[in-house]
Structure 1
């Protein structure tokens, strides 16, 4: 891979690109280069350098997190990009997607983006900027085709129109006070000469394919114009030639004609043949007439019969010259396309911030996460009724929130909105909140939802545990962790034990900022047993037989889970609900037997001390005295009856 890169960039080593020692990355880059060579079979002049990206530069998002947060693909409904992407151009849409997939940790570029968005909103220039961008096509891909020499005529027409629209963008933004916008205008550059060259060379509305002809504008090339004239205006030329020859020869019946076999000829009746000028050369004798050819007509014939093919060849040559001229300016044109893409994204983010009433987040070096009246951007956009905003406060002294409350109460929404607000802040966007103050974040982890992976032979619980293990191994004190219903894929006691142990590990070892949603009410005791853990809950009230979700986050644990009420909302048959209520009452009665135990059994409470009854003590002594290996079948049966007789009587 390294050798391939050295050959491609024509350099002696790769230290100038800062990647000489990255052997795995060089192998991957070399493999990619080999793939491009196999598929494109041409030079790749638009690849000018290598750039190294470090994980330390970005807020890392693993595959599970991208999937759970539904950044660009939603299992149902709308994704985050579906709400956020108001870009005009395809290249702006791609850049926004890259930003969302690779949020930055560095504060300076993010603050420059925020300031540019604020400047566009304050000046009111984002709306006219977006209108001006509608005249600009996908210049990035067009320039890639130019470099590969596969650009079609309409691609170049789109490039021409885009370069002609650039001065209007410059005029719009010239007075806007923003270092980032000024930098983008510098990168946009001046391309009036290239636009004028394209304007002069290309037809105003060129055909889709070069082979169709009519790509080069009339008047650009005299030779091409003559060829086109010959191929399109042959009848006029023949009429003029016929009139001149009649006048010169005095033969009134002379005519100029054409057939596919013999081509162009001058025909004179046999009665007038003796008047044929001496420069006429007989071509054919037919009944009642003689046919001649002249040097002028022969020259015209040669030209007109090959005029279309020659015109197409000439157009191709001129088109190749145009591609050569564009490739000579390729680097500056690519910089201009990248600047236009970023202008598109910044204008789109300004439009979203204004339309959705988002605020500018404050990115600080002090650890912590403080969001006032935060909202979930996708849920809010999808709901017709007002969204209930909620606060979130995490800091070194309050690192974990154990979130309880009913299903459908909004626990997952509350958790996801926190992650999305953090992610939006780290792409430079405004966020859906009244205010947001965000300290350093290095990764976002999520463990939300249930699903198996049959292709890899993983059950739902195995997928859950694999994702949990990844979080426990890699989360740091600067990570944001969302854990939703850990342990629900196995038995109650197993799941409760795993959930408690995972929460304690995150609190004691990882020390991450954690939102831990659960239905195990036993976990609410962690707040009093461990520093840095607090309880919050999503509230709900029962009104008659109806359950009303308030979607408001309040301090403290929930008092119940409302599981049967939610099941009723889902349409579970009433006989099933009645049977479930009877079973629930029986379980609670068993749990309360012998004392004031809570309705939910506490797995981690110490077992009560008990004294064996006398019969049980005698039974245990008799059992210890047995030697199973020395017993015959009959003796074993008799011993079993004796032991049974020692059992205490049932209550």
Structure 2
């Protein structure tokens, strides 16, 4: 048993190395990508340290895959600011001290105060105008300002820049030269940063392979920590694997539904070469689809290396999982709902093996009753006799439940429900044997169908059931008065 908590802290500080590496390779990485890559790579030694001494081949392998590219880390630490700008064109990306020329340009932008104080003091002495000031604004740049009265005594080399109500503003050749240097320093600094940034990307290119390896190892550790944390928090158990064909789950739960539906009713499932196909009947909303899906998810989680939501699980070899669940058309492909259903079913029948897990939900519902029933019966027989796949087969065709009379490898199970007054209570418990009705009208009533419609439906149901008994060889006429 290994503790995952020490790994979580360094993992939280690691960004998406794989995505950033791809951007570096494509030369589209942004400044924040490089700072995230730097901070992520600095966490790798901590991960390596936590993986030392673990008696696990997998963890040893992942630890060995964490190869810190020291040259790349050193470059990123020295070249990229701790919190760089979002985009390169804004500047503020390359770290101070990395490039002397860039440092000088930046200094020229920010440290011109001393020059201006000295220039102002010298001009006061030279002109004898003690109230002149040297200032700056974004519109006119640097200028010498004095009152309009004092402006009459301004030296001849002072060139008027702006006239206001009470003051005059001037510029000199010396101040203009300094202004040009300061204002161009920003453009030159941005150009210098862009060049240096491109050089950093060039220097990272040889490390892309190592970065990809690290990304894969970190992703695997992240998944394993997530598995461990969820298993502990949600009371998952370690599944066991067997070479024998079959699936046995005790008190299985749906990993998503149980988090939003409390209390969740757990159910057992047993599939084997001797109990190959389960015909699942029961009311709408009774939990048939949830039962099927949770079985598949438990198998899938187990094969991913995760503990599973159950009290116990024993799983044999499963080569593929096939599903035919839900109802939707394919307008772009010109296929109706029934055509989509049949296409997916055909794929299952052509490709499922005795090691496959197959889920089929209400096959044949998209066409007439007898056509649908015939197709569902034939599909079930094919899966039993030829594919021999482990199959969960949900249906509202109660006639299908008679398959178990001829096929010892098939079994009936149903989802329980009880009528309470004019309503219905779903128990969501899987029991052996077939259900005797679907409670469709009761479910429609729960959904808010008008009472008058519900009453008409009940009368029609009674009439149809009587006709079915009287004329057992004919399809019921849904439009009899």
TM range (shorter): 0.7 to 0.9
Find 1:568's aligned residue among 445, 453, 459.
Answer: 445
Tell whether 2:41 aligns with 1:163.
yes
Partner of 1:523: 400
More helix, by proportion: 1
Find 1:343's aligned residue among 187, 204, 221.
Answer: 221
Contact 1:264 1:301 survives alignment (8 Å):
no
Partner of 1:550: 427
Partner of 1:399: 276
Find 2:266's aligned residue among 361, 385, 389.
Answer: 389
SS of equivalent residue, structure 2 residue 42: helix
Check 1:306–1:423 CA distance in 2 against 1; reply closer, same or farther (3 A cut): same
Partner of 2:87: 209
Find 2:195's aligned residue among 317, 327, 331.
Answer: 317
Count of aligned residue pairs for this structure pair: 455
Partner of 2:367: 490
**CA distance in structure 2 between the aligned counterparts of 1:437 and 1:310, rounded to whole angstroms:** 69
CA RMSD of aligned residues (A): 3.6
Superposed CA deviations along residues 273-309 of structure 1, whole A, max 9, x for unmatched, are 9xxxxxxxxx96879xxx9979xx9997775454333
For residue 215 of structure 1, report the CA deviation from its aligned partner.
1.9
Partner of 1:533: 410
Partner of 2:248: 370
**CA distance in structure 2 between the aligned counterparts of 1:261 and 1:374, rounded to whole angstroms:** 76
SS of equivalent residue, structure 1 residue 373: strand
Structure 1 gap segments, 5+ residues each: 1-117, 266-270, 274-282, 595-600, 605-651
**CA distance in structure 1 between the aligned counterparts of 2:192 and 2:464, rounded to whole angstroms:** 90
Tell whether 2:16 aligns with 1:138.
yes
Question: After superposition, where does 1:86-235 map in structure 2 within 5 Å?
Answer: 119=2, 123=3, 126-235=4-113
SS of equivalent residue, structure 2 residue 256: helix
Moved more, 562-571 or 358-367: 562-571
For residue 127 of structure 1, report the CA deviation from its aligned partner.
3.2
Check 1:307–1:438 CA distance in 2 against 1; reply closer, same or farther (3 A cut): same
**CA distance in structure 2 between the aligned counterparts of 1:327 and 1:187, rounded to whole angstroms:** 19
Contact 2:159 2:172 survives alignment (8 Å):
no
Superposed CA deviations along residues 423-458 of structure 1, whole A, max 9, x for unmatched, are 212222221111111112122112222223333333
Check 1:154–1:583 CA distance in 2 against 1; reply closer, same or farther (3 A cut): closer
For residue 244 of structure 1, report the CA deviation from its aligned partner.
8.8
Contact 1:264 1:293 survives alignment (8 Å):
no
For residue 508 of structure 1, report the CA deviation from its aligned partner.
0.9
For residue 400 of structure 1, report the CA deviation from its aligned partner.
0.7
Q: Greater Rg, structure 1 or structure 2? A: 1
Check 1:216–1:532 CA distance in 2 against 1; reply closer, same or farther (3 A cut): same
Tell whether 2:331 aligns with 1:454.
yes
**CA distance in structure 2 between the aligned counterparts of 1:192 and 1:461, rounded to whole angstroms:** 59
Partner of 2:149: none
For residue 251 of structure 1, report the CA deviation from its aligned partner.
6.2
Check 1:458–1:306 CA distance in 2 against 1; reply closer, same or farther (3 A cut): closer
Partner of 1:409: 286
Check 1:241–1:544 CA distance in 2 against 1; reply closer, same or farther (3 A cut): closer
For residue 216 of structure 1, report the CA deviation from its aligned partner.
2.0
Tell whether 2:204 aligns with 1:326.
yes
Partner of 2:341: 464
Partner of 2:478: none
Find 2:303's aligned residue among 405, 412, 426.
Answer: 426
Partner of 1:360: 238
For residue 347 of structure 1, report the CA deviation from its aligned partner.
1.1
Contact 2:250 2:311 survives alignment (8 Å):
yes
Check 1:544–1:326 CA distance in 2 against 1; reply closer, same or farther (3 A cut): same
SS of equivalent residue, structure 2 residue 340: helix
**CA distance in structure 2 between the aligned counterparts of 1:489 and 1:343, rounded to whole angstroms:** 45
Moved more, 223-232 or 348-357: 223-232
Q: TM-score, with normalisation over the residues of structure 1?
A: 0.63
Check 1:228–1:431 CA distance in 2 against 1; reply closer, same or farther (3 A cut): same
For residue 165 of structure 1, report the CA deviation from its aligned partner.
2.6
